[in-house]
Amino acid sequence: MPETLPLPNPTPLTTLTEDEILFRDNIRQFAEDKIRPRVKEMDEKAVFDHALLEQFFQLGLMGIEIPEQYGGGGGRFFEAILAVEEFSRVDASAGVIVDVQNTLVANALLKWANDDQKKRYLPKLASDTVGAYALSEAGSGSDAFGLQTKAELRGDNFILNGRKLWITNGKEAGLFILFATVDASKGYKGITAFLVERNFPGFAVGKKEDKLGIRASSTCELILEDCRVPKENVLGEVGKGYKIAIETLNEGRIGIGAQMLGVARGAWECAAKYAQERKQFGKAIAEFQGIQFQIAQMATEIEAVRLMVYNAARMKDAGMDFVKEAAMTKLFASQVAERVTSLAIEIYGGYGFTKDYPVEKYWRDSKIGKIYEGTSNMQLATIAKLVMGGK
């Protein structure tokens, strides 16, 4: 048994180009230097440090895939996934802010916005405007298309009325991709996506939720009371919102997989290090086979998640059909994150149950992975249909 337990290479280098390795390492260093010192305070206060957000923009991390002509980085989806993973290894709240901005909001605009909308909004998203994705409602979660928010065309504007719930980045966002029904008689084919600016008349951000985990990431209610949205702010086409929602969330699930990968990595690294430092019965607990087996099992599952996340992201960049892989990735990554973070607490023993040590936060942050952007049961339903030949 070596004196110290070596940490495995955090990514299989054979899957990364030199540019990707450099990008990843720079993100990792930034997360260690700038985010980690703020994590505990942000979690306790449930507020994300605005100075950090400004640095995210300055580094180009809020517009990784946005083309350079709009002020973005002109990068690929895979790079956004690397950023989410590395940030989440230190703080899942930081990871999800970058995740929603890149995999949901920017991705939806790149694919569905017209030229005028891209010129108006992509430069803002790349430089200073946080985006949010507003689909869920109090009575519309897994049944995403049961939403009750209504949109009625009056002259040159749509008038929106309703409430949205569980909206990530709600407190900070200046632009919302918001879904509403223009014709309830058409069911899901009446759903339309709108680009709603925070200062539009009739729009307000309501209650901020007090959450178990990812506490620094804001999760808010949105209130629309005769909210006036210019008809040129329809994203895609009227009645095509369901298609935008489905396709965008498929991409977002890879992002959640990356977030959970980062959470599991962070907890594992803490547990492996602590096992070498904690002594019982005259020796480090890392020398006991029971602890070694736990650490080995954790490392194996993390590696499996990493390969699934990277594979799904590569498939997306290659223009391949990745729906099944995205669902599997989110499902498995969230399961592994919960298991690994729970075991990390047990390796710490009583210390792990206190807020003086970091692993309890990783465990709290892991729980959301099974819930948002499609619950685990919804992922299983998707996977079952696809592997059994359904649609």
Residue 108, classed as helix, strand or coil, is helix
Q: What is the maximal distance between C-alpha atoms in the chain?
A: 79
Q: In which region does residue 233 sit, left (phi positive, over 0), alpha (psi from -120 to 50) or beta (all else)?
A: alpha
Dihedral sign for Cα atoms in the order 67, 68, 72, 74 = positive
Secondary structure element (H or E) that encloses residue 187, with its range: none
Residue 61, classed as helix, strand or coil, is coil
Rounded CA-CA distance 334/331 in Å is: 6
Q: Active-site positions? A: 373
For strands 175-181 and 131-134, give the pairing: parallel
Rounded CA-CA distance 259/166 in Å is: 18
73 close to 58: Cβ distance less than 8 angstroms: no
